[in-house]
Amino acid sequence: MSSQIAFVFPGQGSQQVGMLADLHEQETIIRDTFTEASEALGIDLSGIILTGPGEQLNSTEITQPALLTCSVALWRLWQQRSELRPAYMAGHSLGEYSALVCANSINFADAVKVVNMRGQLMQQAVPAGEGAMAAILGLTDEQVRTACEQAANGDVVSAVNYNSPGQVVIAGSAAAVERAIGHCKEAGAKRALALPVSVPSHCELMRPAAEQLAQTLNNIAFVTPEIPVVQNVAAKVASSPEQVRENLLQQLYSPVLWVDSVQMLANSGVSVLFECGPGKVLSGLAKRIDRSLSATSIESADGFAKALELTS
């Protein structure tokens, strides 16, 4: 285990048709992981990941198991190729499930089914068109929270993703989010734009989804992660399997404290992050959170090989 390395796992927004296509063609463990996930759900998830259509991949209940599967497949390949194990893991929103699978806290097939259900419940919690999210750039966290308070007027709107200094995502009812966008622009935001999503994640509107998801999670066996996982809701490592489960439920309607989570890793001696999943979103955020951090995505054959070189 290296005290200087952490693996981080992306969430929704990092998906695209053809994820891991090159490694899927080259590596048996990638293909086997895709097949295992497809069998767990009883659908051709592998085919959707590799060839689409994009509309189906972007459906929340498909996006979540697809991203989980890609992240777990990359981790399994890493285990085959390297004896190095990170000191910590962390995942952004959905990516927390990926981290917990890779840390052997929850079974992969169980997790695939859970996140599929999670996506369905999130979509059902707020009818299409009634919820919204927006990215706010160039304001302090406090300015964004103030804008949300001014915009609420009895509706739900709050800061939900603290992604990097000066980059906060808000979520809530569509009308309140629109009002908050206006307040943020008045406060001097560089950009304040609605995001193309159908679910207002991590706000109070998701509490009913959490209450329903609890019924599923209570029937899933959790164990203490073999590698410490920094969870979103408190930017801390949970002290017990029960706390891991409770944090996953709270995560649905609570902010993602990603800045605090990455800073916790840096304060614990981590200097290198490997982004274990599609895209490079978390790698980009890491450098804006703490310039001392090095971040590398291992989603491609070239990126994977670079990461192996860095640790050899």
Q: Catalytic: 93? A: yes
Which residues 6+ apart lie within 8 Å of 170 measured at CB? 133, 134, 136, 144, 148, 157, 158, 159, 160, 177, 180
Distance CA 198, CA 305 (A): 36
Euclidean distance between the first and final Cα of the chain, in Å?
A: 13
Residue tagged active-site, from 38, 46, 93, 158: 93
* Set 38, 202, 261, 283: catalytic member: 202
Task: Please give the positions annotated as active site.
Answer: 93, 202
